[in-house]
Structures are given as C-alpha cells and as structure tokens.
Amino acid sequence: MPAALTDTAESHDRPSGAPARVSAGLERSFTQVARTFLRLDIPTDALPDGTSISRTGYWLLVRLSDTGPIRLSDLAGTVELDLSTISRQIRDLVADGLIARTPDPADGRAALLSLTEPGIAVLEAVSESRRRMLALAIADWTDEERNALASGLLRLASGLQSARDLPDDMTAFEPHAETP
C-alpha cells in the first residue's frame, strides 16, 4: 500500500483509546471515493415505468427503508437536514407514489411516511444499478480483497459513528503532520 495511505508507525503502538494518526492521503482518498459514490447519477433507464428520482430523493428512500414508518420531523433529524429542506422532496415523492403518508396511530395530527411498492421497486432498481457499478470497479479484485474492503468499511462506519458521538473535548487531538 502506498506510504501516503497508511497510518504512521507510531499509531500501531498507541495506548488504548488514543486516536490513530491518519495521513492526509488516506483522508483525501476516502473523501474522493465518498464524493464519487454520492454523485453517481440515477440511471433513468433502470427505473420502473419511466419513473424519475433525484439523488436526494433516492437517499430519502434509502433512509425510509432503513427506518420503516417515520414522521417527517424524525426523518429530517435522521438525515440531518432542516424540515423545510426535505418537505418539498417528500411532497414530490408522495405525489409520485413512491412514499405513502398515513395517519400516525399514536397521534392523529401527525403522519407517518413509508415506502410504497413502487418506492421499493425504484429503490431496488437504483441499488442494483449501483451494485453493478461497484462490481465493475472491483472486477479485478480477489474475493479476499473484496471481503477486506467490505469489513473495513463497516468497521470504519462504526468507528466514525462512535467518534462522532464523543464529546468535543474527547475528539480533539493533535494530528500528525504528514505530507502525501
């Protein structure tokens, strides 16, 4: 692995709980992968019945599939966007028949959002298209490399969530200055 992408040697000997030192190259590489993946186009030819959906709409369908029925305000909190920001997106998804709005049995004044059958079909079509794109990107990798990537990314996501949940004074540390 290129030196610019590896942790520094002293990070392997760090005391328990001490943050790992991460190279600027690793951080930039991960940012580039995340940006590229998040900006993948929605393949209109893969969508059922000529349906169209924006990237934001797709990610809202993903979140709804993860959470199940949820109030709009809770969904806004889950995706960390202002309620006014996602209201229009949700209104469009409801109008397109991809999301259902039903009364909340716990509070008749509120509504729950959930995926409809067409919403599930769109979610699956886009997800399958993205899986094909990933398969092309790693076609020449071994099964071991693919498995290592998958487990490493899951571990990274868990670590990022744990670090994000720490109080600010626990996440501050002096980063190791390293040139790529």
The model's confidence at residue 168, banded by pLDDT at 50, 70 and 90, is: low
User: What pLDDT digit, counting tens, does each position of 116-158 carry?
Assistant: 999 999 999 888 888 888 999 999 999 999 999 999 999 988 9
Computed over its alpha carbons, how large is the radius of gyration of the chain? 20
Say yes or no to pLDDT of 15 above 80.
no
Question: Shortest CA distance to 99 belongs to which of 142, 154, 43, 57?
Answer: 57
Q: What pLDDT, on the 0 to 100 scale, is given for residue 99?
A: 95
| Domains of the chain and CATH, by start | 40-180 (1.10.10.10)
How crowded is residue 45: how many other Cβ atoms within 10 Å of its Cβ?
7
- CA–CA separation, 38 vs 126, rounded Å? 13
Q: What pLDDT, on the 0 to 100 scale, is given for residue 8?
A: 44
Report the SS3 class of residue 108: strand
* pTM tops 0.85: no
